[in-house]
Amino acid sequence: MFNFSHGCLPMPRWDELNALFKKTGAKIIFGLNALSGRTLQPDGTSTGTWDHKNAESFMRYTVSKNYTIHGWELGNELCAEGVGTRVLADQYALDTIALEDMVQRVYKGIKPRPLILAPGGFFDEKWFIDFIDRTTPTLGAVTHHLYNLGAGVDKNLVNKILDPSYLDRVYDTFKDLLDILKMYSTRAVAWVGESGGAYNSGQHLVTNAFVFSFWYLDQLGMSSAHDTKTYCRQSFIGGNYGLLNTTTFEPNPDYYSALLWHRLMGRNVLPTSFSGTKKIRAYAHCSRVSRGITLLLINLDNSTTVYADVAFNSTGTFKRKTILLPPPFKGGNIREEFHLTAKDGDLHSQTVLLNGNILAVNSAGDIPPFVPVYVNSLTPIQVAPHSIVFAHLPNADVPACRLRH
């Protein structure tokens, strides 16, 4: 299919890749060919049982070399209508159970055992219900793919990214999947297994430029608010949506956005709402490595500076736009702010500024330090037009964050 049917991963190449994984500390999810042994029908359905002999041989080799695999994922974009072909939910569930049985055999006596992930395709409520209903004891993570902006060639791509109502369209996908997982009380968690925003390699100077951080960080915020445990970006390098420049290997703006998220936003998500313009996207988490909370504010407006006060479950009248968070709050004098803007205000720029300073690696390839500006915490947070702000409030004393320490 797609001229990849006769592709082959030689074991010497797999050895080289694992040397790289070990050196970088990467956690590896490997996608297994779920079409092996099936027959493609005229209606586009692939029928028959998954033939896992090749997958088991590969897995046994991996174990014999003591290579660490974080998870094995069955298939790619075969659920619901599929891409190119599809597999019915009941058969996919049986094959996923077969993968779990195989992992138990191959990894007998080995701890920890890799996760089992599936189906790695686009969300369809009925298909996912049927699938999860039959695989409740088996799955470690339910993976789905997101390209909610449509085709990369779309000339309206930037307008979609800056339209809050368009960004909200994917809300139901996150909510519906979470509801299904709760309904079946499964131990499986939700993952976005692949997302590049705009399919077919994105669009140059959009999906690899500053403007894409509006979409990317909004996705991280929205998915986290719906208990998504992992979000896999397409791609680290490659196409027009890579985190690294495909020629120079230097970071694109989304690399720095992702790194700031990783360093500042902890695992505990706080229910957050913003009272004011719909052009502000607001999210809050317990801070990752320090006390307090971190806010993420995204201003999609091209001309309006927003001044945001932070209130903790207050119902009073505010002079400015307000972010509502859970109580209580202990006052403090200083907060840290990280303002991201495009160079020269050009949303298509591949250079991002942090607090007015260009972010770029040095000659040794080292990532620059992320130096905040320090602001009186009693003043509103100023969010300039077409900018992104991370605000760390170290003295915000929220019970959900207290337990970490």
Residues catalogued as catalytic: 77, 194
- Kindly report the backbone phi and psi dihedral angles of residue 208, in degrees, each rounded to the nearest multiple of 5, phi listed first: -120, 20
Separation of first and last alpha carbons in the chain: 51
Contact in structure between 246 and 238 (CB atoms under 8 Å): yes
